[in-house]
C-alpha cells in the first residue's frame, strides 16, 4: 500500500527487532509498506547496506555520499559512476547542501553536490537532494548542472512554497517526512497542501525524524503511515488515495527494480 521513498535501513538499531533485520522487514511489510528506497550515505558502509537488503525485492537502493559525511569520504565522478552504473541502483544520493551543521566547508559541499548531479545526468538516474539553510545555492547548482535532465526529489522537504515552485520547474518531486506531523510545522503543512498531486512523495528518513505519535523514538518505515495520514488530513482526502498517488509517483520516477 505505501512506498517509503527515503529510509536508511542499515542505520536502524535492531534491538527492538530481536536483533534481526528480517524481523524489521516483516514488521514493515505487515504494516502495508510494499516498497522502500534505502538511501546510501557513504561508500564505506555501502557493501554492508547492499548485503542487508539483497534478499528483499521490496527494497531499492541509491548510491552516493551524504553532504554531512566526513571530508575524507569524498568521492570523484569516476568512482561514483562506477558504483552507480548498475541496474540495481535506482537513484544517486543522497546529496545536497547542509549549511545548518556546516560539518564540511561550503565549497567542498558544493563540489560534492555537483559531482552527484553530474553523475545523475550522465547515467539518467534521479538525484536525491538534501537541503538545509541552503535553498538558493541548492537551486543554483541544480540549474547549473542541468538537473532537469535527470529529475529527482527534494527529500524531507522543509522549504517554502516559493522554493517548491522552483524545484517543480526543474521537474523535481517533493517528499514529505514526519516533520509534517510536528505541532510547530503549520507553514510546512500549508506547502504540503499546495504541491501538485503528481509531484508528491512520502518518506520516513528513518531512523531519524519519527512522526507523531512516536516523536523522539527511533523511526522505521512502518511509521510512514503516519505521514500519509497527516497528508490525507491536510489535503482533505483519504489515506488510501495518498498511498495510491505517492506509490504511483514513486514508481514513475524511480522504476520498479
Binding residues among 234-253 for Zn ion as defined by CB under 5 A: none
Give the separation between CA 227 and CA 179, rounded to whole angstroms: 8
* Among 4, 94, 125, residue whose Cα is nearest residue 56: 4
DSSP assignment of 113-145, as one string? HHHHHHHHHHHT--EEEEEES-HHHHHHHHHHT
Question: Strand 152-154's sheet: what is its strand order?
Answer: 2-7, 33-38, 59-63, 89-98, 127-132, 152-154, 173-176, 200-202
Q: Would you say how long the chain is, in residues?
A: 257
- Backbone φ and ψ of 242, nearest 5°: -60, -40
Cell, residue 221? 518505515
Per rule CB under 5 A, count of chain residues that contact Zn ion: 1
Shortest Cβ 8–Zn ion spacing (Å): 6
Stretch that binds Zn ion, among 56-64, 98-106, 164-172, 205-213 (CB under 5 A): 205-213
Stretch that binds Zn ion, among 45-53, 69-77, 202-210, 211-219 (CB under 5 A): 202-210
Stretch that binds Zn ion, among 16-24, 200-208, 218-226, 242-250 (CB under 5 A): 200-208
Give the residue with the Cβ less far from Zn ion, 98 or 205. Answer: 205
Shortest Cβ 142–Zn ion spacing (Å): 18
Shortest Cβ 59–Zn ion spacing (Å): 15
Binding residues among 120-149 for Zn ion as defined by CB under 5 A: none
Shortest Cβ 241–Zn ion spacing (Å): 26
Residue nearest Zn ion, CB atom distance: 205
Shortest Cβ 237–Zn ion spacing (Å): 27
- 8 Å CB contact between 14 and 211: no
For Zn ion, the binding residues (CB under 5 A) are 205
Amino acid at each position: 500500500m505505501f512506498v517509503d521513498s527515503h529510509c536508511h535501513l542499515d542505520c536502524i538499531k535492531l534491538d527492538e527487532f530481536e536483533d534481526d533485520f528480517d524481523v524489521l522487514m516483516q514488521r514493515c511489510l505487515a504494516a502495508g509498506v510494499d516498497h522502500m528506497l534505502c538511501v546510501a550515505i557513504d561508500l564505506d558502509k555501502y557493501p554492508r547496506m547492499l548485503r542487508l537488503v539483497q534478499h528483499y525485492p521490496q527494497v531499492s537502493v541509491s548510491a552516493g555520499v551524504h553532504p554531512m559525511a566526513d571530508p575524507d569520504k569524498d568521492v570523484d565522478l569516476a568512482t561514483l559512476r562506477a558504483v552507480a552504473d548498475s541496474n540495481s541502483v535506482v537513484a544517486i544520493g543522497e546529496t545536497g547542501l547542509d549549511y545548518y551543521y556546516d560539518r564540511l566547508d561550503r565549497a567542498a559541499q558544493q563540489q560534492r553536490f555537483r559531482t552527484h548531479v553530474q553523475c545523475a545526468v550522465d547515467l539518467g538516474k534521479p538525484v536525491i537532494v538534501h537541503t538545509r539553510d541552503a535553498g538558493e545555492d541548492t537551486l543554483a547548482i541544480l540549474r547549473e548542472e542541468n538537473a532537469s535532465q535527470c529529475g529527482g526529489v527534494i527529500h524531507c522537504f522543509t522549504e517554502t512554497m516559493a522554493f517548491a515552485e522552483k524545484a517543480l520547474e526543474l521537474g523535481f518531486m517533493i517528499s514529505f517526512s514526519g516533520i509534517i506531523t510536528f505541532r510547530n510545522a503549520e507553514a510546512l503543512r500549508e506547502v504540503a497542501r499546495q504541491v501538485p498531486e503528481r509531484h508528491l512523495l512520502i518518506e520516513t528518513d528513518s531512523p531519524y525524524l519519527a512522526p507523531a505519535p512516536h516523536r523522539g523514538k527511533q523511526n522505521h518505515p512502518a511509521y510512514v503511515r503516519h505521514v500519509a495520514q497527516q497528508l490525507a488530513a491536510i489535503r482533505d482526502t483519504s489515506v488510501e488515495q495518498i498511498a495510491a498517488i505517492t506509490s504511483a509517483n514513486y514508481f514513475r520516477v524511480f522504476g520498479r527494480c
